[in-house]
Amino acid sequence: MTRPFPKDFLFGAATAAYQIEGAAFEDGRTASIWDAFSRVPGAVIGGDNGDVACDHYHRYPQDVALMKELGLQTYRFSTSWSRVRPDGGAVNKQGVDFYKRLVDELLGAGILPWLTLYHWDMPQALQEVGGWTNRDTVERFLEYAGTMHDALGDRVNVWTTLNEPWCASFLSYTGGEHAPGHTSVAEGLLASHHLLLAHGATVRELRSRDSSLNLGITLNHTVADPADPQNPADVDAARRVDGQFNRWFLDPIYRAEYPADIVEDVRAVDAAAVRRFEEAVHDGDLATIAQPIDTQGVNYYHGDLVAGEAPASSPPSGGPATTRPGRSPYPSDAGIHAVERGLPRTAQNWEVQPEGLTRLLHRVWDEYAQPAGTVLYMTENGAAYDDVVSVDGRVHDADRAEFLRLHLGAVLDAAEAGVDVRGYFYWSLFDNYEWAWGYDKRFGIVRVDYDTQERTVKDSGREYARIIAARAL
C-alpha cells in the first residue's frame, strides 16, 4: 500500500556551517568556540577539527547540483557568525558574500533556502567574555542577525534563530561535552536563558523589519518513558528528563514561564546556581522570549527509557568516549538511570524508536504549537551507521534507508492523525564533522571521502530521492 504525503509537504536535508564548510581561517573568518574546543586535548575523538570538513565553502556549486539531483525541495543550513562578524565585531563582507552566493545557487536550482542563524559556532572572542553566560552576547547576536537579514532578507523567507538551545547550553556549559566544555550548573542555566532571550529578541527584530518572514526556532526533543509506569521513582525520573530537556525550552517559548517543578529540583541540588539564574531573568525577558513564532523545528533522534534506581545492567552510553572529564548535562541528575529495552541501536548506540517520534509530534502539537498557531517541521532526524564502500564503489546502507522509511512513516502517522507537520529534513545531507565524535560517525545520505572530497550518493540517498519523486512511502 502506498501512503502519499500531504500536498504541500516539503522534503529536504540539513547541515550546519562548522560541520561542513571548512575554510576555517579563510577570507577573514576567525576562530569560533569549536575551532578552540576541538584543539583541547581529549575533547574530540581523534583530535579532529573542522578546518577542512567537507570543504563545502569551495565546493558549494557542485553540492547544490547534487541536492538538485536528489530532488530536494529545501535545504537547511546554518551561517557562521565567525565568518560574518569575526570575533563578534565588524561585518566581514567576504563572509557575507559567501552566503549570498550559496543562496543564489540554491534559488537558481529551485531549492528553498532554510536558514539557521546559530548552530553552535560562536566567535571565540565572545566566549572569552563569557559567551552565552554574558547577557551582552544577546546584543552581539542581534547585530549579527541584523547583518544576515540586511544581506539576505530579499531572498530568504525562512529564518530559524537557534538550533537546539539545549545542546548550546546544558550539553556545553553543564555537561562539558560540547564547546566551551564547561561543567557548571549555573552556567548552563544562564546560557539557556540568554540563548532564549537572543531567540525572542531576534524574532521581534526581524518581524518588525518584515512581517512576511517565516520565523522560528529548532528544538531537540526526547520522549522520556518510565521503565515501570507503576513505580513512582521511575515516573519521577521521566518527569525530570522531560522537564530538563523538553519543557525547559517549550514552556518559556510558548507560555512565557520556566517549569516551576524543575526550578525547584535544581534549587534542591544547587541553590546558588538557581539564585544566579533568577537574577539573570529580568522583568520583561519572558515576554520577549515568548514572541509568537510561525514555525517550530522538531529534531528527534531517540527516546529515553529511565528508572529512578540503577538497573542491574546499564545500557551502552550514547555519548562519545572522549577523555575530558564531563558531568551529566542535567542540572538535577541524581536518580535518572537509563534502562535497556532491547531496541535496535545505531552505530553510536542511539536507540531506533520511530513510534516515539509519532508520540512526540502529537505532544508538541497538542500542548504547545496548535494553541499558539505554530506549524511544525521535522528539521532533523537521522542515523550514524558504520558504512562500507562495496567493491562496486557504492554504499549499500540498508540500515539507514530503513531508518529513513520508518521515521518518515512515523511522521505520516502523526500527519494523518491531524498534526500539522509540513516537512522533513534528513540529518544529514553529507557525512560531516560530528562534534565530539569527530569524523568517526557518518550520518550522510551522501558519503564524503575526506581524503579526496569525493561525494558518493549512498543507497539511502537513492531511496530518499525515490520517495521524494513519488511523494509517497
Residues labelled as active-site residues:
164, 380
Distance CA 159, CA 295 (A): 9
By CB under 6 A, name the one of 48, 380, 397, 463 that touches ligand BGC.
Answer: 380
Closer CB to ligand BGC, residue 5 or residue 81?
A: 81
Contact status: 163 vs ligand BGC (CB under 6 A)? yes
- Least distance in Å: CB of 243 to ligand BGC? 16
Q: Which amino acid is at 8?
A: D
Closest CB to ligand BGC among residues 239, 442: 442
| Interaction of residue 434 with ligand BGC, rule CB under 6 A | yes
H-only helix segments in 117-221 = 124-127, 136-152, 165-166, 185-209
Comparing CB distances to ligand BGC, the nearer of 177 and 413 is 177
Position among 6, 130, 318, 335 found at the interface with ligand BGC (CB under 6 A): 318
Q: How far is the CB of 376 from ligand BGC (least distance, A)?
A: 17
Amino acid, res. 454: E
Q: How far is the CB of 147 from ligand BGC (least distance, A)?
A: 23
Q: How far is the CB of 18 from ligand BGC (least distance, A)?
A: 9
37 vs 181: CA distance, rounded Å: 7
| Residue 7, SS3 per DSSP | coil
Q: Kindly state the smallest distance separating residue 165's Cβ from ligand BGC, in Å.
A: 11
Cα–Cα distance list, 219 to 331, 349, 369 (Å) = 19, 21, 12
- Residues 96, 147: contact at Cβ < 8 Å? yes
Residue 342: CB minimum distance to ligand BGC, A: 20
Asked if 301 interacts with ligand BGC (CB under 6 A), we say yes
| Residues 6-35, interacting with ligand BGC (CB under 6 A) | 16, 19
> Could you say which residues in the range 66-125 bind ligand BGC, by CB under 6 A?
none
Cell 561542513 maps to which residue? 20
The residues that bridge with 42 in the sheet, in sequence order, are: none
Say whether residue 435 binds ligand BGC (CB under 6 A).
yes
Output 170 or 277, the one with its CB closest to ligand BGC: 170
Q: What ranges in 342-436 are assigned the alpha helix state H?
A: 354-364, 370-372, 398-416
For residue 215, give every residue at least 6 positions away whose Cβ sits within 8 Å of its Cβ, in sequence order, or none: 159, 161, 203, 206, 207, 293, 294, 295
Query: How many chain residues are in contact with ligand BGC, going by CB under 6 A?
Result: 15
* Residue 5 vs 430, nearer CB to ligand BGC: 430
48 neighbors 433 (Cβ within 8 angstroms): yes
Rg of the chain, C-alpha, whole Å: 21
By CB under 6 A, the residues from 164 to 183 that bind ligand BGC are: 164, 167, 177
Q: Which of 57, 60, 101 is CA-nearest to residue 80?
A: 57
Q: How far is the CB of 416 from ligand BGC (least distance, A)?
A: 27
> Do the beta carbons of residue 288 and residue 317 sit within 8 Å?
no
Which CB, 92 or 246, lies closer to ligand BGC?
246
The DSSP letter of residue 243 is I
Helix (H, G, I), strand (E, B) or coil at 339: coil
Q: Which stretch binds ligand BGC (CB under 6 A): 53-61, 161-169, 235-243, 255-263?
A: 161-169
User: How far apart (Å, rounded) are the C-alpha atoms in residues 61 and 178?
Assistant: 31
Distance CA 448, CA 442 (A): 9
Q: Which stretch binds ligand BGC (CB under 6 A): 48-56, 159-167, 271-279, 411-419?
A: 159-167
C-alpha cell at 347: 552505530
Contact criterion met (CB below 8 Å) for 174 and 245 = no
Part of the chain binding ligand BGC (CB under 6 A), chosen from 95-103, 253-261, 405-413, 427-435: 427-435
Stretch that binds ligand BGC, among 59-67, 141-149, 163-171, 338-346 (CB under 6 A): 163-171
User: What residues line the site for ligand BGC (CB under 6 A)?
Assistant: 16, 19, 163-164, 167, 177, 220, 299, 301, 318-319, 380, 427, 434-435
